[in-house]
Every structure is written in C-alpha cells, then in structure tokens.
Amino acid sequence: LKGVAEALSKKGNHIITSSIEHPAIGNTCKYLQRRGFEITYVPVDKYAIVDPDHVAAAITDRTILISIMHANNVVGSIQPIAEIGKIARERGIIFHTDAVQSFGTLETDVGELNVDLMSMSSHKLHGPKGVGALYIRKGTKLTPQMQGGEHERRRRAGTENVPGIVGFAKAVEIAMAEREEKVEKLEELRKYLVAGVLERIEEVSYNGHPEKRLPGNANFSFKYIEGESVVLQLDMVGIAVSSGSACASASLEPSHVLLAMGLTAEDAHGSLRVTMGRSNTKEEVDYFLEVLPEVVGKLRRMSPLYAQAR
C-alpha cells in the first residue's frame, strides 16, 4: 500500500478500503492518513460483506488505490473481489487484495479476480513463518519500501531467505494438490460443529455469512459472558480458539469487524472464533462440542448479567 501511495502521490491521494480489514491493512492506512492521504472506509452488511456499489460510489478523481481483503480473518466472509476489481480496472485504479486467509483454500486466479496486487503468506499454508509473496501485475508502479541492493527486481532490498522461500513453494505445492479435498473436509466439519453448537447452547448467534465464508471458519457470540473467558477455559482443557483474530486475541477491545457488522459491543465481547485446518478431525470436534456447553454454562452461572436476565 505504501509503495503504491508513494509512487502515485502526484496523481492523487485517495485510498479506498473496507471497515473490516486486518490490521496489516488497517494500520497501514492509518499511517498513510497521518502522511496526508485521504482514506475512505466502505461499510459492510450484517454478514461482513462489502457491496461493490459502495466501492464504486466512493471513487473520486483523486483515487489511486483500492484494497479489499479476499476473505475476512475473523468471520470468514468471502468478498466479491472480481466485481470490485472490474470496477477498479474500468476506472484505471490500482486494486490490491489481501489473500492471506484465502490463498491455498479458495480459487485465487489473479486474472479472474481482476487484481493488480495480491498478498500471500506462507504460515497460513503450514509453511515457514516470516515468508510471504506479493503478486504484482506487470506495469504496476511501486516504490520500494526497503532501500539497499537491487534484489527482487529492485523492489525489496536484502538477501533473500532461500530456505524460507523453498519451504513456502513446497507448502503451496502441497496445498494446491490437496485443496479440493481439504475444502470439502473442512466444510463438512464446520457444518457439523456449527449445528452442534446451535443445538446444544441457548442464546448463541452464528456470525458471518452461512455459506460465503472460509470452509474452516466459525464465529459465535454467546450472550451474558466474555469470549476471552471462554478462550481461557478451553485452553485449560487443550482446545485452542480465539475471541477475535489470532493476532489480537490478547486485546480486550471488541472486534472492529463484529462492530462493523452491526453487533453490539456486548455481543462482540461475547464472541468466539473457531478455526479448523487440514489436520483436525471429527473426533476433535466432538470433544469441543462436549466441553463447550459445560464451559458456557459455568461462566453464565457466574455472570450477573445472566442472573438479571433470568
């Protein structure tokens, strides 16, 4: 984002993004705003999905960049990237998508998505941490963000991390070979988990789009309790979940994604994100469904809000 903004600053200073982006995008936009760029945050609907018409309406003659994530990291909602990309292409505006959550799971054909820039990360594919990739459409102008040598076509100085890059490439190879099988398995597990939670626990809501979402993502809000308390209780019995994105799970602030969807601060505080990967099993989901109602029941019995509601 900074590379495009700096390269095109003489053309314009307006950037469009969404209200549910990962901090990697959101905080970069805040930085650029402090540097004099104008940022428009388009809203989302109750499922955390961006309306392409809202993006089109936000475009001005000073717009130089649009950045919308492919799939949301908190509630898993998949965005209409191809339609937004078509709008950007027709208006001659650079379009970036953060595909860290989706790459290796969803179809990410850069031609079909109409993107100029696409970010990817190795660790989301069980590859080495600290390694990423950026697709750059030919002709897209970027100012290097690391000064030094002429590595990587003068776009990123510094000696390349060859073992990490090779590891990432192998992770991509495996992910693409297993993608269809993995997606089918994760969708089946997710539907089983969601049905089990909604059947076993009262006063719980399922956040995000029921179908247009990442196959291994489920997000719930439980009335009268804090999601962070659920996280801690489950951690004690060997279950790792989060109350927001994994990057911000230690934060006690309600998720900006859930607030942008229209949830109250109370419901956002009561959220729990459950994600599953290629190694998870039905037996593990059964264990989760056995333990979760006990944890929620225990915490509600301790909650003054629950007592008042009764």
Catalytically active residues are 247
Q: From the centroid of its chain, how far is CA 52? A: 18
Token pair listed for 254: 């309600």
Residue pointed to by tokens 């993608």: 179
- Helices 282-301 and 227-235, packing angle to 10 deg: 120
Return d(Cα 180, Cα 260) in angstroms, integer: 32
Give, in order, the Cα–Cα distances in Å from 134 to each of 9, 216, 294.
21, 24, 44
Token pair listed for 296: 């929620």
Quote the Cα angle for 293-124-217, to 5°. Answer: 30
Residue pointed to by tokens 């247009």: 212
Burial of 80 (0-12, 13-18, 19+ CB in 10 A): middle
User: Which of 245, 272, 266 is closest to 101 using CA atoms?
Assistant: 245
- H or E element that contains 207: strand 204-207
In angstroms and rounded to an integer, the radius of gyration of the C-alpha atoms of the chain is: 21
For 116, phi and psi rounded to 5 degrees? -100, -30
For 52, phi and psi rounded to 5 degrees? -55, -30
**Cα(first)–Cα(last) distance of the chain, in Å?**
50
Return d(Cα 80, Cα 69) in angstroms, integer: 10
